Amino acid sequence: MVCNSLGRRVDQQSLIWLVGLQNVFSHQLPRMPKEYITRLVFDPKHRTLALVKDGRVIGGICFRMFPSQGFTEIVFCAVTSNEQVKGYGTHLMNHLKDYHVKQNILHFLTFADEFAIGYFKKQVIIF
C-alpha cells in the first residue's frame, strides 16, 4: 500500500511506485486526463495498492476510504496490458477486500466504462 503524505516524509521507493502507478493508469486508461490521474495518485487522501513484479509496477488500485460513511471509492484499477488475463487483477482485488474487512469497511463504489464492467462483475463482493 503506498500513498503520499503531508504530515511525514515519503520514502523514495514509495514515490517511485507512485510514479509507476501514475504511468500504468495513464497508459491503461487513455481517456482519463493525465493531470487528473496525477492529482489523485499523489493526493494524501487517496491510497493505492501496488502490484510490483521484478521491481516494476505492473498494476494497482487507487482508492479513497470514507470510513464514517462505511464505504470506499475505487478510483482507478488497472494492470499493464502484457500482464492481463493472468489473475493479477483478481489478486489485487482480493488483497483490497481483505484490507477493507480489517478496516470494517464493507462497501465499494466505482464508476466503470463498458470495458471495465465485466471485470467488476467477476469481482462480486459479498461479506
Q: Which residues are catalytic?
A: 73
Nearest to 88 by CA among 118, 57, 67: 57
Distance CA 65, CA 10 (A): 20
What is the residue type of 4? N
Cell of 57: 509496477
Cell of 29: 486508461
Cell of 102: 480489517
